């Protein structure tokens, strides 16, 4: 079966490149390897999908899950966090309300940003 192009998160790709070097794989092969492990993990009888769903919904404790189920929960949390970060645009939000903010520049120095105020 051939391969299909897909978008990969930059951090995931960099992690795959780093691990791939130690495993004599390409980054693409490493990502494929991780995907196969994930597929098998989710299909494992030791992973209780209902228990995972309850933890993700905040209705059960993470600590009660098996190690395999905890791995599925952690992967899901990482995906959800990445999605939220992709949608986050604090510069636009702070500019819209006219609030200043502080950030680090390329040299690590603190810079205060002040949006152009339209307030009287």
- My answer on whether 51 and 68 are in the same domain is yes
Q: Do both 96 and 45 map to the same domain?
A: no
DSSP secondary-structure letter at 63?
Answer: G
- Looking at the domain assignment, is residue 1 inside a domain? no
What's phi and psi for 103, nearest 5 deg? -145, 165
Domain extent at residue 45: 10-87
pTM: 0.56
Residue 4 included in any domain: no
Write out pLDDT tens, residues 29-56.
Answer: 888 888 888 888 888 888 888 999 999 9
What's the total number of domains in the chain? Answer: 2
Burial class (CB in 10 A: 0-12, 13-18, 19+), 31: buried
pLDDT band at 109 (very low <50, low <70, confident <90, very high): very high
Q: Are residues 73 and 106 in the same domain?
A: no
User: In the structure, what pLDDT confidence band is assigned to residue 65 with cuts at 50, 70 and 90?
Assistant: very high
How far is the C-alpha of 109 from the C-alpha of 63, rounded, in Å?
Answer: 41
Same domain, yes or no: 38 and 80: yes
∠ Cα 19 69 84 (to 5°): 70
5 lies in some domain: no
Distances (CA, A) of 119 to 59, 94, 95, 102, 116: 45, 14, 12, 20, 9
């Amino acid at each position: 079966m051939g391969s299909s192009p897909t978008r990969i998160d930059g951090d995931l790709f960099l992690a795959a490149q780093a691990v791939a070097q130690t495993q004599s794989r390409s980054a693409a092969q490493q990502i494929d390897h991780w995907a196969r492990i994930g597929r098998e993990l989710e299909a494992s009888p030791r992973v209780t999908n209902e228990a995972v769903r309850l933890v993700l919904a905040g209705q059960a404790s993470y600590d009660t899950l098996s190690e395999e189920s905890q791995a599925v929960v952690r992967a899901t949390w990482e995906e959800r966090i990445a999605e939220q970060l992709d949608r986050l645009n604090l510069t636009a939000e702070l500019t819209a309300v006219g609030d200043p903010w502080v950030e680090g520049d390329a040299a690590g120095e603190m810079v205060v940003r002040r949006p152009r105020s339209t307030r009287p």
